[in-house]
Structures are given as structure tokens and as C-alpha cells.
Chains A and B, each alone.
Chain A
Amino acid sequence: MSEAVLSVRNLRTYFMYKDAEVHAVDGVDLDVRAGEIVCLVGESGCGKSMTSLSIMRLVPQPAGRIVSGKILLDGVDLLRLSEDEMTDVRGNQISMIFQEPMTALNPVLTVGDQITEVLLRHRRMRKREAWQRAVEMLEFVGVARAAQIVHEYPHQLSGGMRQRVMIAMAMVCEPKLLIADEPTTALDVTIQAQVLDLMRKMRDDFGTALILITHDLGVVAEMADRVVVMYAGQVVESTDADTLFEEPSHPYTRGLLRSIPSLSDDTETLYSIPGTVPDAAAFPEGCRFADRCPLAQPECLATAPVLREVRPGHWVRCHFADKGSVSV
């Protein structure tokens, strides 16, 4: 883990409301090595998007606050930077692309303006040079007629094209880390595969590490080097992709894997994990998954499990993770 580009330690991001304190991210540890693709998995509201926004220090203000933890980018703690220093990091060393390409681009600025803006902000570059570079970058991400497209507005492009523009914009300064928050959810299936391919190409050509947030385990199987499973604001399992699919150790992970529809299966109804995610304003004392867990014991309700390394490189937050695999 020494060559980690990004190390998140014990990150806590809370939302303070008048009558409640919501623990959206509650002690998350995360390591991403150079050139690695880490998938962040979990159902809606588990804190995966807030974790990524915390890394960017773009948690919605004023309710949201990063309460504690460290976010080390190449050893520099981002949480200790001033807001001004942080703007030098964003778009330059860490970039982010979002789920909705339809709304993520500014409707009144040309594509070229929005790409060159990043270069002019972070690189000493003349305007002409920056526009040239924007066209090259668009060609690189597979936009046909790039020299024309730079002068067009987002509404003139299709969803897939816009997501390519987003990727070009995010990658134009060749960041060390790219965070993609469900980048393919809003796209057609055929376009999804193209965009995933493109992101893998980015990793291969620029050596950029990638945090891919998704709830699609198909995407995980195709893309991930390592997988981090989140539940109720915490990491519950973290391991390499092969191990996750072959030997899932947390009951929640197993539940997720069982919920994938299978072509060979004859069952009529799809498996779903019973119950719902606990309220982030009032987490239980013990294990947060206990009331949905088929294996729960009295111990689970009493004490919260910690994230333990059950095998080298395989971390699980469960009291029974290494006590023989009990089938769900």
C-alpha cells in the first residue's frame, strides 16, 4: 500500500440540520494506488457519493461538513489545504465526472470554452494553444468532427457525446486521480460500454487512478481491480475484484451478489435483501447491517464490528467473517 496515490483515513462527513445530525460518511478508509481502478459499491444513500465529494472537498454547504479524518493525495493532506490551494488541486490533480451528462455541462458556454477553461486555469498556456489542445483531447476521447464540436454548445450533442466531453474536460490536465460518480447510469447500454472502455483507455494511457462509483455489479466485474463495498456510511468489505466475486465475506456483499439476475437461474423472482438501510441520523449501537442480516447473533446487536483484515488484502467488517463460510 506504499504507492497509494490516495489514502483516505477515518473520514467522517456529517450533515448538521436543526433537529438531526446525519452521519453520511462515518469513518471511511480507502486506498487507491497509481493506475488502479477501484470500484465503490453500495446501494443509494450508503455514502459513496458523499465520500467522493469529500475527497474533492465539494460537500454541499453549509449543512455538510467534513468532521474528521485525513485525505492524503501523494502524502499531502487535502483537508489541511486552504480553499484557494484546494482549487489548484481540483481539475488538475483530481478530477471528477458526474452521473448526468445532460446537466453537468454549462448550457450557455461552448464545449471548447469549458475545456480550455481548465487548461487556462491550471497550465501556463496561451488561448490558441489551449484550444488546439482541447481539439486534440476531444479527438482522443473519440469525438468525431472535434474541430467543429469545440464551437458547439452542449444541447447540440447527444448524451454519450456529452459524457465524452466531460471525460475530455476532466482528463485534459492529466490528473493523478479521476473520480467517476456513476458515469454510465444515464446512458444507453451500448454507449455505456464505450464510455467504460474509454475510461480504461484513460487509465492505460495516462496512468490515472480511477475511483468508479457504481451500483452496477456488471460494471464492477468488467472494470475493477479492487472493490470497496460501502454500507450505511462505512466500508464493510474491501478486496480485489476476483476475491469479491469468488469469496464474498460480508453478508451484505453476498446479498448484493445474490441480487444479480442470472440467465442460468430458473427462479421466478429476484433475490432482494430484506429491510432498508438504517436512518443515517440514528445508527444502531451494534452492527449496522444486523437487522437485515440472516446470520445476526446477539453479539451483532450489542457491539459494532471493526474492519479487520481476514486474509492479506481482504478487509471485512463482520464478527463472523473468518469463522467458516456460513452460506446465506
Chain B
Amino acid sequence: MAGYVVRRLFGMIPMLFAITVFVFFMMHMAPGNAIEAMINPRIKDIAALKHQLEVQNGLNLPLPVQYWRWLVNVLHGNFGWSFGQHEPVIELLGPAMYNTLILAVLAEAFILLLGIPIGIWQARRPYSKLDYTVSTVSFVLFSVPFFVFAVFLIYFFAIRWPVFPAQNATGTGPLAGTLLDHVWHALLPAISIALTAHTVYSRYTRGAMLDVARQDYVRTARAKGIREPVIYRKHVFRNARIPLVTQLGFDLGGLLGGAVITEGLFSYQGMGYVTITAVSQRDYPVIMATTLIFAVCVLLGNLVADILNAVVDPRIRYQ
């Protein structure tokens, strides 16, 4: 298993290289550049200033050279300076990653805690009126654009009854900066993500449970006199969770990259928020760093999915 993980980690390197190359050239092909986004267009002799700044930042060099410089720096642990925020990229992204981690874990927890029990509950009474009702509600929740929930949640729980903060990832006061304070700020965005995303899990869970419930070994369990709740908890769910665990790995990778729109709506300073700001300012070093981190998260998520699969399914063993 350890050997397998190491091999997979090494296998990621060419993938990450390809992704960064692609993003780097795509980014520079977009119109405008960081300097234009930075300087005031009413300044006199704008062309000279622009040229001076470009030379300062190495933006006048050929793109392959620029990429090579970036790559060498990154391999030395230097992600460069943010053009937009005027601070090292690392210092900008550190807090953002922490905020996004809290939001991702919280959102995924809500998604699982809502989605899986609902799915199991439906699978125990398939094709009944209650089952159809819950399915319909799920489809509606899934179809509503998810930012709608964010807007409603902000309106009701942050403005009408100001229980929760409407924006920012941390607050002021004695608790500022503590884990509790972070969780408190992440609560509304997490709920707004989970309200939509949990339906994916309730559908998956219901389907997987019903699939497994038809299997011969479930009939065997019944023939042994095992009671229904135990049959569902032990014999059915332990098989039904195998495809869910795969989905979980993929999800975590995606969520850790930042929930762009949700973070934007809540002005929650996570990875998504930082990325959007950086893109609008053509802040190349930040864009490259967030892309790299996002790619790593997705690839690690896939690896975690494969590892979790082996944990819950004894038929899967990695050499």
C-alpha cells in the first residue's frame, strides 16, 4: 500500500507539469496584463511607465523564459509576489487555504450528514409516496442555482435576524481568529453549499442501497434470521458505501480548491475568493499558485478516493 501511494504521488508530477504549462500560456494569451490592471490610466507618459514596470517584473521576456523562471522559483518554494496585493503569494494564500479548508470540511460534513441518512431512509421505503416526495424535493433543490440559497440565507439569517455574520471569514472581538470564530463564519456558506450538494449523495445512496438490497447475499442474511435494521446497517450499507466513498474523494478535491461563487457571495476570503480577485487583476503569480494548489487537491482527492476504496472493499488491494 505504501509503495502504491508513493508511486501514485510520483505519477502526479508530469500531470502537474502539464497543467501549469497549459495554464501559464492560457493566462498570457488573455488580453491585458498585470501592469495595465495596476496603473492609473490617467497617468502621463503611461507607455514609458508600463515598459519600466514590465522590465522590473520580467514581463518583457519571452514566455518560455518566464515560465522557466517561475518553475525554478516554485521548486525553491518561492511562489513570488502578488502584483495586486503587494505581499508574498505564500502569505496571501496561507490564510485563504485555512479558510477554505474549514469551509470544505464543514460543507462536506453537512453534505454527508444530510445526504446519506436521507438516502438510506428512502431506500427503506422505495417507490412509496414518501420516497417520491423526498425525491421530488431533492430534484428541486438540485435544480435551483445554488447561489439562490446563499442569497436567501444571507437575507434571513444575517440581515433580517442577524444571527450569523454576512461576510468575511473571521470577525472581531475576543474570539477573533480562533477556530470557533472561523467555524462560525463558515457556517452559512457551508449550509448554502450543502443544501444543493447533499442531494447528489441522497440520490447515490438511495440507488446504491436499492442495488445492494437485491443481491443474493441479502437474501442469505434474511434466511439467517437477521433483523431488518441490522440487514440494512450491516449487510446493505457496508456494500452501498463503496461507490459513495469514491465520490467523497473527488468531492473533497474539488471543495478544497475553493467554492468560487459561494465564497464571492459571502465575501469569504478563501481560495475561490482569492482566485477570482487575482484573475480580475491579472495577478499572474497568484493565479499560477492557486491553479497549482487546485490541481494538487484534485489529484490528491483521486488518490484518497482510491485509498478509501481499498479500506471499505476487501476485494481491492494495491501492491
Contact = CB atoms under 8 A, between A and B. Distances in A.
Interface of A: 56, 58, 84, 87-92, 95-96, 98, 100, 103-109, 117-118, 121-122, 153, 155, 166, 169-170
B234 to A, nearest CB: 7
B224 A91 contact: yes
Given A98-B223, A103-B215, 14 more contacts: A88-B225, A89-B225, A98-B219, A104-B219, A106-B221, A106-B238, A108-B239, A108-B242, A108-B312, A109-B234, A109-B235, A109-B238, A118-B224, A170-B223
Contacts of A169: 220, 224
A87 B315 CA distance: 30
Contact of A106 (B220, B223, B242, B312): B220
B226 A117 contact: yes
B184 to A, nearest CB: 39
Contacts of B235: 106, 109
Contact of B217 (A89, A105, A121): A105
Nearest to B126: A62
A122 B238 contact: no
Nearest to B214: A60
B173 interface: no
Contacts of B45: none
A292 to B, nearest CB: 32
A104 B217 contact: yes
B288 to A, nearest CB: 43
Nearest to A87: B225
A122 B220 CA distance: 15
A95 B312 CA distance: 29
A96 B234 CA distance: 20
Contact of B220 (A88, A104, A121): A104
A212 to B, nearest CB: 16
10 contacts: A87-B226, A90-B222, A96-B223, A100-B216, A103-B215, A105-B217, A107-B313, A108-B242, A109-B234, A122-B225
Contacts of B220: 98, 104-106, 166, 169
A50 B222 CA distance: 16
Nearest to B127: A62
B131 to A, nearest CB: 13
Contacts of B223: 56, 58, 90-91, 95-96, 98, 170
